Chains A and B, each alone.
Chain A
Amino acid sequence: MQRFAELFTRLDETTKTTVKVAALSDYFEKVDDRDRLWTMAILSHRRPKRTVNTTLLRQWAAELSELPQWLFEDSYHIVGDLAETIALLLPPPQSKREESLTYWINFIISLGSLDEEDKRAAVMEAWSELEPVERFIFNKLITGGFRMGVSQKLMVRALSKYTGIEGPTLAHRLMGKWDPATVDFQALIIEPSDSDNLSRPYPFYLAYQLDKSTEEIGTPAEWQAEHKWDGIRGQLIVREGELFVWSRGEELVTDKFPEYHPLAQLLPNGTVIDGEILPWKDGRPLDFNDLQTRIGRKNVTKKILEKAPVTLMAYDLLEWEGQDIRQHPLAERRKLLEELVSNHPSGGILQISPTVNYSSWEELAAERETAREKHSEGIMLKRLDSPYLTGRKRGDWWKWKVDPLTVDAVMIYAQQGHGRRANLFTDFTFAVWDGDRLVPFTKAYSGLTDKEFNEITRWVKSNTIERFGPVRSVKPTHVFEIAFEGIRASTRHKSGIALRFPRMLRWRRDKPIAEANTLEDLKGLLQV
């Protein structure tokens, strides 16, 4: 694992992407196919299943470090990362063991079949044979959530540098289902055969939020506008009579949505549609939350199907008659999509996302204002002559989301963050007035600058009232403007409401706590 540890250290020591790409492509050159595949897998979120639960890891680490469990836990709260905490606390290694990354990953996979006592012995032995950085990596591989400061995009760039194959082609070859334990590097990356392609989705094209005025991007005639539906972005593939549904997170979700199964027969082979998996009933979208509860379930029961049925709101056509048409202009792809949907009636399983008719930007802005009542997140703008690109790109597609709802709230609890934000208070609970009481209604973690987090951290430290483990109650003093995308009634929360995507928009230093909003105000937003 030394090579991988070296790679990790090099990546960790720089914030410059060029240096990261160079480090990664050097590494790809040095290691064998299997280590290379596992590295690609880790960097594209394909990890082995967790084989040891973290409670056990914590116990064993405290034991081997000869520390009381409470001190281990307190240390963990400060470090904010379990893998790192363990690596820091363990005594120095007793001996040295040089094995490949693949060896250690297989070692971790093999733990799954051991009983607790054997697992413990195996993990403890590994800990006593690994250097601190290697230990950290080993722990990260066990606990999952391995971030190395390298996005999938960056990994593709490095792989492209190493193989000489173009980025978008590689991104496509890396999509979908492949198992780093068995797949052949040559067959996956260098010369893939068509038979492997059956279920393979195309990389999704993602948009940035519009950060300028609509006037600056051109005239309405150049742009197609449609609503940005609030479901799960998905890709539906019909090839050789088989249906595959992929979520944007590259998860194969075909079985989760039996509604789509008839499309395997209804649609012609060689069809790939980009669209939104949208909960839909009585001719209108349901709340996103209905879809979320459905995804969480293991089995799709009849009851769920009745409560939250889905439709596919089609946005784009990527493959037609077996041909990849992503390079064709949007206007042309849209025309084919419209024909496809109207020529193959599906009883509402497949619908086309309607375009907005508008002749001026003012008209479109007015349509955007109706987004909330139409259960959409705003407007999507797509340049009519644009190809379907790979990944998040600026220029041809823009999200033009509706402005968030906001409320002024009082900070009442604070907790330290994790990872980059360890040792800083970054996770806060906010309250609004209910009579003369402050009722907590949401948590928020993001939206402040590092400088503001530093300032609030110093303030929390000297204004703590009580501690509940890692959580501190603080003197109600500071008012923050909280932004959120949606609000709904909830029986699970004391306040009776739940917010979607809450974050801190601004620190309202100008406002005394008496001027924060009330629960009544919040409940009023439920009507919107």
Chain B
Amino acid sequence: MLVQSKRIEPKSGILCPNIMLLEFKEQGLYCPVADVYIDPWKPVKRALITHGHSDHARWGHQHYLCTTTAAPVIRYRLGDISLSTVDYLEPITVNGVRFSFHPAGHILGSAQIRVEYRGEVWVVSGDYKIEDDGLAEAFEPVPCHTFITESTFGLPIYQWEPQEQVMQDINDWWRKNKADGKVSVLFSYALGKAQRLLQGLDPGIGTIYTHGAVENTNEIMRQQGIALPPTTRVTAEIDRKDYIGNMVVTVPSTLGGSWLKKFKPVSLAYVSGWMRLRGARRRRAVDRGFVLSDHADWTGLNDAIKATGAERVFVTHGYTEVFSKWLREQGLESAVVQTAYGTEEEESSTESQ
């Protein structure tokens, strides 16, 4: 067990002493009674997957289980795997342990996994956000005894404006760039954030172009029946002049590279929760930073935890020590758990190379 701070003993009388419903093992979160892992980072036999981001859905397990809406992207990313799906709230029982998936609001198909055994309830939240973004199934608090939470933005400096306000700012920026004869380029993560942006962009302003990595995910979601506005994949055949006044949605790895050269004159904007800090924005040398995240902000994390009614909270990734200490001061039992989450996409405060 890799619990860092104080060791927390399970409530007596619920489980056998020294056996926890979920354990923190070298391979990941493990349920010994059911012999399954949740979001394991090393190859295992049976893995329940909260969502398709690569630090949670990893390659190499023998069998995967995720929600019906999360499956197409996971298949696309991991290729030919043995994958079963389950609908939200549809229970699965393994050796007396009852598992069910509940909306986490992080990205399309993302889930919190509820684990119940002899009246004891744990919830593994994966990554989550509270605000309904209109694309991901809206977060629902799940009452439990023990809650396992992320804390990517677990500091009070991280507070989000409503999505509607941010999208209005982004559309205003686009309009201004159009008036100035510029191409607008938005950097955002290919899975989740990009589609969320597409839903909020005003197609009345101009054409929306996309980088291949974004467009591939768009295609999968469209096949799932998700309504996204029309987009055009950026290709070498398109006349550079056609981009003027229009929007390009791309991935962060293109920042500073030659792919961007075709857009001129240009205004660059990065969309991420990290943009809340001036330093983080200036370091990326973009013109604008829009604060929009698929993770809960400080208030969101605290509200979510309160809503579960949990007495005990394990904190997996992000500003773990600080957030866990804060929770202890609020009268909860809390400890930090070392995991391999938080290494990709928005969860890392440093850019991916």
Decide whether A and B are members of one complex: yes
- Using a CB–CB cutoff of 8 Å, the interface residues on chain A facing chain B are 12-15, 65, 67-68, 70-71, 74-75, 78-81, 84-85, 88-89, 418-424, 450-451, 454-455, 457-458
The residues of B that contact A70 with a CB separation of less than 8 Å are 325
Q: Nearest chain-B residue to A458 (Cβ)?
A: B350
B329 contacts A79, CB within 8 Å?
no
| Shortest distance between the CB of A358 and any CB in chain B (Å) | 43
| Shortest distance between the CB of B277 and any CB in chain A (Å) | 6
A418 to B288, CA, bound (A): 20
A454 contacts B157, CB within 8 Å?
no
Beyond A78-B157, A419-B278, 17 additional contacts (C-beta under 8 Å) are A14-B287, A68-B329, A71-B326, A75-B155, A75-B157, A84-B277, A85-B157, A88-B277, A418-B279, A421-B279, A422-B277, A422-B279, A422-B280, A423-B277, A423-B350, A450-B283, A458-B350
A88 to B279, CA, bound (A): 13
B278 contacts A423, CB within 8 Å?
no
A–B complex contacts, Cβ < 8 Å, 13 sampled: A15-B285, A68-B326, A71-B155, A71-B156, A71-B322, A74-B155, A75-B155, A75-B157, A78-B155, A81-B278, A85-B157, A455-B353, A458-B348
A214 to B277, CA, bound (A): 45
- Once A74-B322, A457-B350 are accepted as A-B contacts, the answer to whether A424 and B283 lie under 8 Å apart by CB is yes
Q: Nearest chain-A residue to B348 (Cβ)?
A: A458
A65 contacts B156, CB within 8 Å?
yes
| Shortest distance between the CB of B169 and any CB in chain A (Å) | 12
The residues of A that contact B156 with a CB separation of less than 8 Å are 65, 67, 71, 75, 89
A323 to B304, CA, bound (A): 74
| Shortest distance between the CB of A109 and any CB in chain B (Å) | 26
The residues of A that contact B351 with a CB separation of less than 8 Å are 454
The residues of A that contact B155 with a CB separation of less than 8 Å are 71, 74-75, 78
| Shortest distance between the CB of A413 and any CB in chain B (Å) | 18
Residue among B157, B325, B349 with max Cβ neighbours from chain A (10 Å): B157
| Shortest distance between the CB of B21 and any CB in chain A (Å) | 28
B285 contacts A88, CB within 8 Å?
no
A70 to B288, CA, bound (A): 32
Q: Nearest chain-A residue to B350 (Cβ)?
A: A454
A80 to B278, CA, bound (A): 10
Q: Nearest chain-A residue to B351 (Cβ)?
A: A454
The residues of B that contact A75 with a CB separation of less than 8 Å are 155-157
Q: Which 4 A-B pairs have the closest CB atoms?
A: A422-B279, A88-B157, A454-B350, A420-B282
Could you say which of A13, A65, A454 contacts B353, with CB atoms under 8 Å apart? A454
The residues of B that contact A451 with a CB separation of less than 8 Å are 353
A421 to B159, CA, bound (A): 21
Number of contacting residues on B, CB 8 A?
A: 25
The residues of B that contact A424 with a CB separation of less than 8 Å are 283, 350
A85 to B319, CA, bound (A): 16
Q: Nearest chain-B residue to A417 (Cβ)?
A: B279
B287 contacts A15, CB within 8 Å?
yes
The residues of A that contact B280 with a CB separation of less than 8 Å are 422-423
The residues of B that contact A450 with a CB separation of less than 8 Å are 283
- Once A67-B156, A454-B350 are accepted as A-B contacts, the answer to whether A421 and B278 lie under 8 Å apart by CB is no
Could you say which of B274, B276, B282, B283 contacts A88, with CB atoms under 8 Å apart? B276
The residues of A that contact B348 with a CB separation of less than 8 Å are 458
The residues of B that contact A14 with a CB separation of less than 8 Å are 287
- Once A420-B283, A421-B283, A450-B283 are accepted as A-B contacts, the answer to whether A89 and B278 lie under 8 Å apart by CB is no
B157 contacts A423, CB within 8 Å?
no
The residues of B that contact A458 with a CB separation of less than 8 Å are 348, 350
A458 to B344, CA, bound (A): 12
Q: Nearest chain-A residue to B282 (Cβ)?
A: A420
A79 to B280, CA, bound (A): 9
- Once A15-B287, A84-B277, A422-B280 are accepted as A-B contacts, the answer to whether A89 and B157 lie under 8 Å apart by CB is yes
A403 to B185, CA, bound (A): 43
Q: Nearest chain-A residue to B280 (Cβ)?
A: A423
The residues of B that contact A455 with a CB separation of less than 8 Å are 353
| Shortest distance between the CB of B272 and any CB in chain A (Å) | 12
A68 to B325, CA, bound (A): 11
| Shortest distance between the CB of B222 and any CB in chain A (Å) | 34
A455 to B352, CA, bound (A): 9
Interface string of B130-165 (1 = CB under 8 A from A): 000000000000000000000000011101000000
| Shortest distance between the CB of A494 and any CB in chain B (Å) | 29
B279 contacts A420, CB within 8 Å?
yes
The residues of A that contact B274 with a CB separation of less than 8 Å are 423
A88 to B273, CA, bound (A): 13
The residues of A that contact B287 with a CB separation of less than 8 Å are 13-15
B278 contacts A84, CB within 8 Å?
yes
Q: Nearest chain-A residue to B284 (Cβ)?
A: A450
| Shortest distance between the CB of A401 and any CB in chain B (Å) | 29
| Shortest distance between the CB of A363 and any CB in chain B (Å) | 44
B279 contacts A419, CB within 8 Å?
yes
B276 contacts A80, CB within 8 Å?
no
A81 to B276, CA, bound (A): 13
A78 to B157, CA, bound (A): 9
| Shortest distance between the CB of B266 and any CB in chain A (Å) | 11
A78 contacts B285, CB within 8 Å?
no
- Once A13-B287, A75-B157, A88-B157 are accepted as A-B contacts, the answer to whether A423 and B349 lie under 8 Å apart by CB is yes
A33 to B277, CA, bound (A): 33
Interface string of B12-38 (1 = CB under 8 A from A): 000000000000000000000000000
The residues of B that contact A421 with a CB separation of less than 8 Å are 279, 283
The residues of B that contact A422 with a CB separation of less than 8 Å are 277-280
The residues of A that contact B282 with a CB separation of less than 8 Å are 419-420
| Shortest distance between the CB of B273 and any CB in chain A (Å) | 12
| Shortest distance between the CB of B279 and any CB in chain A (Å) | 4
Interface string of B104-140 (1 = CB under 8 A from A): 0000000000000000000000000000000000000
The residues of B that contact A79 with a CB separation of less than 8 Å are 157, 277, 279
A88 to B353, CA, bound (A): 29
- Once A75-B157, A454-B351 are accepted as A-B contacts, the answer to whether A81 and B279 lie under 8 Å apart by CB is yes
| Shortest distance between the CB of A74 and any CB in chain B (Å) | 5
The residues of A that contact B319 with a CB separation of less than 8 Å are 78
Could you say which of B279, B322, B326, B353 contacts A80, with CB atoms under 8 Å apart? B279
Could you say which of B278, B329, B349, B350 contacts A12, with CB atoms under 8 Å apart? B278
The residues of A that contact B288 with a CB separation of less than 8 Å are 13
The residues of B that contact A457 with a CB separation of less than 8 Å are 350
Q: Nearest chain-B residue to A16 (Cβ)?
A: B287
